[in-house]
Amino acid sequence: MDKLQTYIINKGGILKEARVAEKVEAHENDLLHKSVHLIILCDKKVLARKRGKDESRYGGLFTSTIGTHVLLKDNYISTIEKFLPTQNLELKFVGEFFVHDEWENEINGLFFAEVEYENLPKDFIIDRELLTVDETKEIINSGEVTPHLAGAFKMLQEKSII
């Protein structure tokens, strides 16, 4: 994890100076862009998604429950709503954090939702795993997570959500 840098964004800081770009342009030119992440909690356990080993970025690593780029015309909510497993989720905004590594240069809006595991659609949980707080800490320490999950988990802990 020595190659990645994760920063908590503070109001009035980097956001004022940032150029936010579309996904393809951003990745090709290492430009700052936005993404949104949702962590679903089931009985204080993190529902983490396991990325496929063949994925070019962060292959085989655990990441947030849902994470996606925000298009310039959209905002965090309009973007994440397209990917929710059910429409009855109460999304709670946690804050923003910054990730810059060899693949990403992004401002990440973080939300969480508390859900009963058995209420999630079976096709949604296929590539996701419930992790206790200790298990999540362990995989973060071993480097088996994306900087997105590491940053999200840190923020959730700092705000005493988990």
pLDDT in tens, 93-136: 999 999 988 888 888 999 999 999 999 999 999 999 999 999 99
Q: Which residues contact 11 (CB under 8 A, 6 or more apart)?
A: none
What's the CA gap between 125 and 48, in Å, rounded? Answer: 9
Q: What is the DSSP code (8-state) at residue 145?
A: B
- The sign of the torsion formed by the CA atoms of 118, 119, 125, 131 equals negative
Q: Domains in the chain, ordered, with CATH? A: 5-158 (3.90.79.10)
pLDDT in tens, 15-41: 433 445 566 666 666 667 789 999 999
> Closest Cα partner for 23 from 15, 14, 32, 10?
32
pLDDT > 70 fraction of the chain, expressed in percent and rounded: 81
Q: What pTM value is reported for the model?
A: 0.83
